[in-house]
Amino acid sequence: MNRTLAAALLGAALPAAAACPPLLDHRMASIKGEPADLCQYAGKVVLVVNTASYCGYTGQYKGLESLYQRYKDRGLVVLGVPSNDFGAQEPGSDAQVAEFCERTYKVRFPMLSKSVVSGPQAAPLYRGLAGKTGQAPAWNFHKYLLGRDGQAIGSFPSAVAPDDPRVLAAVEKALEAR
């Protein structure tokens, strides 16, 4: 490859890489095993939620899907991250979790592969979220809200449902920001 072409390709790649906010600058696997570059969500409002299939809060999948369907055309992404960290309430494989979510709750929002979300072994995404908000998940269905600029703008504990007025107000405000 000639230097001019290489410089042009590198120059074209640099702005895209620079535009990815640090909290989204992670590559993980989707629940289907495909690569997932979280930079694809730059410029969107992202609600990151650690999920579990056998938890008292599992019914929140319905509210998360409803929230996603209501606001996805305005730029909201709900990003589910299954985890077995709390009470061993997500023991299944990624395939089992995906099947459960699709069959039981008709989940269409993006789901990542099962990950550690707490403690020293937490996935880099979760270490970053906990560092920026000062709040690590204490249980399943903890929610982090990222603005369009990729900055953490909200953290909601498990007991705060997706349709809680505080979540809705924060999502609306983030979607209105440009």
pLDDT at 18: 54
Q: How far is CA 157 from the centre of its chain?
A: 15
Residue 11 forms part of a structural domain? no
pLDDT at 9: 46
- Render pLDDT for 61-100 as a digit per residue (tens, 0 to 9): 999 999 999 999 999 999 999 999 999 999 999 999 999 9
Residue 6 forms part of a structural domain? no
pLDDT at 14: 41
Whether residue 37 is predicted with pLDDT greater than 60 in this model: the reply is: yes
Residue 59 is part of which domain span? Answer: 21-176
Residue 97 forms part of a structural domain? yes
- Render pLDDT for 6-20 as a digit per residue (tens, 0 to 9): 334 444 444 444 589
Whether residue 46 is predicted with pLDDT greater than 90 in this model: the reply is: yes
pLDDT at 74: 98
Cα-based distances in Å from 115 to 30, 40, 47, 67, 151: 11, 19, 16, 23, 21
**Size of the chain in residues:** 178
pLDDT cut 70: percent of the chain above it: 90
Domain total for the chain? 1
Q: Which of 20, 39, 55, 101 is catalytic?
A: 55
- Render pLDDT for 146-158 as a digit per residue (tens, 0 to 9): 999 999 999 999 9
Give the CA count within 13 Å in the CB-facing half-sphere of 19.
12
Residue 14 forms part of a structural domain? no
Residue 143 forms part of a structural domain? yes
pLDDT cut 90: percent of the chain above it: 89
The CATH number assigned to the domain holding 73 equals 3.40.30.10
Which position has the token pair 């990151």? 48
Residue 9 forms part of a structural domain? no
Has 55 been annotated as catalytic? yes
Task: Quickly state the pLDDT bin for 178 (edges 50, 70, 90).
Answer: confident
pLDDT at 54: 97
Residue 13 forms part of a structural domain? no
Mean pLDDT lowest for which of 3-12, 25-34, 49-58?
3-12
Residue 148 forms part of a structural domain? yes
